[in-house]
Structure 1
Amino acid sequence: MNHKVVSLFAGAGGLDLGFQMAGGYDLLWANDNDPDAVSTYKANLGNHAVLGDIREISSEEIPECDVVLGGFPCQGFSLANTGRRADDARNVLYLEMLRVVASKRPKAFVAENVKGLMLMSKGEVLRRIVADFEELGYDVQWKILNAADYGVPQRRERVFIVGTRHDLEVDFEFPTPTHGRKPDSGKLPWVSVGHALGGLPDPDSRHDLTNHTYSKYKLRFNGYMGHRAIDPELPAPTVTGRGDNKGGVVVLHHPSNERRMSVRELALVQSFPLNFEFACNQSAAYRLIGNAVAPSVGRSVAQSLQQALKTAKVAVKGD
């Protein structure tokens, strides 16, 4: 029987797509307060996405489930946010995930956030989050995963927090990297951004790809975010969702360093498949991609969790 999944702060559905790609999971219900995110999610993953503020959705409206996913908003935690503070209102939205986990008592939960979460208040924010979930009766582990180590053509470090219900005595281990910059025996080399985008047509040519348009925001080469020269022989720098409302400054240069990446190219750098449609305008699509979990990393975590749940010692309500 497949594990039933509820997803909070689902965004465009990167983490959910990873779980779907892993197999063995059924996506039951998802939520986000961004209309563009929900439209995109529905276009690709199903009509179970609900638009609304999770703070205004009661636990009774959310179905029973085996796994809760939550990429709770990261802007308050991000290193890119130089004004980040521990009391930023966005930093406590994880409490809504805590509420849902407390109510539904799933077998497991998976949360994802930016690396900067580790540094907030000298690590106290992360310790508090872990302790809160442990108090609910979950064994909690966290680890920084670099997307490039899982075949994504992007150097993207993110904190993954995984909790399994203590009474299940589940032995979860984070996925072993499959790729490396200087790969050991048995590992593949990192996927370069030049290789990943090499087969795509020029967006200014005739083609049949969706979302293959790009920002005309002026190229700069000053080393700052969105203005870095791209080395086509390496994975791209981190794709971000930060910038102006025109979708310009955060959009990475194409590996040719002659223009910025198209929406389709940036999505590939995040490991979204070619047929994933962003049902919104170009600016919103760039933002959704930058805020997403790389689906390939989500798939690796989902596979590891699935293996761990096979060892559960106690039957779960509803099984």
Structure 2
Amino acid sequence: MNVVSLFSGAGGLDLGFQQAGFRVIWANDFDKDAVETYKLNFGEHIVHGSICDISTDDIPDCDVIIGGFPCQGFSQANLLRFEEDDRNKLYLEFLRIVKHKQPKFFFAENVRGILSLANGEAIRSIEDDFASAGYRMQKQLFNTADYGVPQSRHRVILVGTRLDIDFNYEYPKPIFASPKKNEKEGVKPWVTIGEALFNIPEPESSHNLHNHIYSQYKVTNRNFTGHRRTDPNKPSPTILARGNGKGGVCAIQHPKNHRRMSVRESAIVQGFPMNFEFLGSMSSCYRQVGNAVPPLFARAIADQLVKYFEGEK
């Protein structure tokens, strides 16, 4: 069960697949700090550089390709000149590699907005592209809080199955739910950010935690993304990767709302193990955490695919 990982970042998606029993044999990212983080935690099989400069002949054959591509170029105006938009380059690279390597499956993570871009024309264009490449594609919107991640994070997972593969991939069913919903048998209440960070000491106290440093960016408690109060009795707001307009990263407020969460606390909310260490400046580490797919959610996605390979054996 060999996996090639594109746009790997720090490796959240890779970690979930690894935990499910897959073997990531090759990975790539253009961010130097993320690559160094990946090497420290996974090994030397990641290649630093732009995927645009890498020949498919240099990428090993595999069973599965995973990754996430940006979708900013999928607008109504740009659909007619799709390949001319620089923001679509990475999507086209993902398509190029899938088309050439012909894995049995591919998994792509993206923001929820991809489903509504250009009034739905963008996702239909993507489906057509992968159909031409020999794949039937599925899509579904998820909230990672429904899978035990102490964070409300809505993401779309695209799954492609090669047309000659006789297997119907089934997305994992939620195992957690909002307390407001009627609890069904086997469905637990969401894990809250207060629960997730309950035993984490203050950064200024004595501890041996990796990356337990935090942004001094002022807590303002305004009704604006990244500035809202954090409710300790709910999952965390989405961990951000974007900056505050001045080059930094706007970290989510701690559940006590007395400061910003540290890099380590943000990583805990994303579901990274305590021994997973991030390299680079504080802003870079925040960005790596915010860009990642929560490993716990990635594991749930990957576990569903294990059924195919077990049947193949």
Quickly name the TM-score band, shorter chain normalised. over 0.9
The answer (yes or no) to whether the contact 1:9–1:73 under 8 Å persists in 2 is: no
Task: Measure the CA separation in 2 of the matches of 1:290 and 1:114.
Answer: 13
Amino acid at match of 1:301: I
Task: Measure the CA separation in 1 of the matches of 2:193 and 2:47.
Answer: 34
Q: Number of residue pairs matched?
A: 304
Instruction: Give the 5 Å matches for 1:78-93.
Output: 89-93=86-90
The answer (yes or no) to whether the contact 2:148–2:190 under 8 Å persists in 1 is: yes
The answer (yes or no) to whether the contact 2:74–2:122 under 8 Å persists in 1 is: no
Amino acid at match of 1:247: G
Task: Measure the CA separation in 2 of the matches of 1:268 and 1:21.
Answer: 17
**Is 2:293 the partner of 1:293?**
yes
What SS does the corresponding residue of 2:267 show, helix, strand or coil?
Answer: helix
Instruction: Give the 5 Å matches for 1:183-194.
Output: 183-194=183-194
Q: 1:76 to 1:193 in 2, by over 3 A?
A: farther
Partner in structure 1 of residue 26 of structure 2? 29
Task: Measure the CA separation in 2 of the matches of 1:216 and 1:228.
Answer: 16
Per-residue Cα deviation, 1:54-73 (whole angstroms, up to 9, x for no partner): 01100001001110011113
The answer (yes or no) to whether the contact 2:74–2:118 under 8 Å persists in 1 is: no
2:117 to 113, 116, 120: 120
Task: Measure the CA separation in 2 of the matches of 1:247 and 1:263.
Answer: 13
What SS does the corresponding residue of 1:164 show, helix, strand or coil?
Answer: strand
What SS does the corresponding residue of 1:167 show, helix, strand or coil?
Answer: coil
Q: 1:192 to 1:173 in 2, by over 3 A?
A: same
Gaps of 5+ in 2: none
Q: CA deviation at 1:134?
A: 1.5
**Is 2:158 the partner of 1:161?**
yes
Task: Measure the CA separation in 1 of the matches of 2:199 and 2:73.
Answer: 37
Partner in structure 2 of residue 315 of structure 1? none
Partner in structure 2 of residue 254 of structure 1? 254
Q: CA deviation at 1:184?
A: 1.8
Partner in structure 1 of residue 130 of structure 2? 133
Instruction: Give the 5 Å matches for 1:216-235.
Output: 216-235=216-235
Instruction: Give the 5 Å matches for 1:1-319.
Output: 3-23=1-21, 25-74=22-71, 89-181=86-178, 182=181, 183-244=183-244, 246-248=247-249, 250-311=250-311
Gaps of 5+ in 1: 79-83, 313-318
Task: Measure the CA separation in 2 of the matches of 1:260 and 1:137.
Answer: 46
Q: CA deviation at 1:75?
A: 5.6
Per-residue Cα deviation, 1:32-80 (whole angstroms, up to 9, x for no partner): 01101101111111110100110110000100111001111356579xx
TM-score by structure 2 length? 0.93
Identity value in percent = 52
User: Root-mean-square deviation (CA), in Å?
Assistant: 1.8
The answer (yes or no) to whether the contact 1:77–1:116 under 8 Å persists in 2 is: no
Task: Measure the CA separation in 2 of the matches of 1:113 and 1:56.
Answer: 23
Q: 1:9 to 1:89 in 2, by over 3 A?
A: same
Q: CA deviation at 1:90?
A: 2.3
Q: 1:77 to 1:213 in 2, by over 3 A?
A: farther
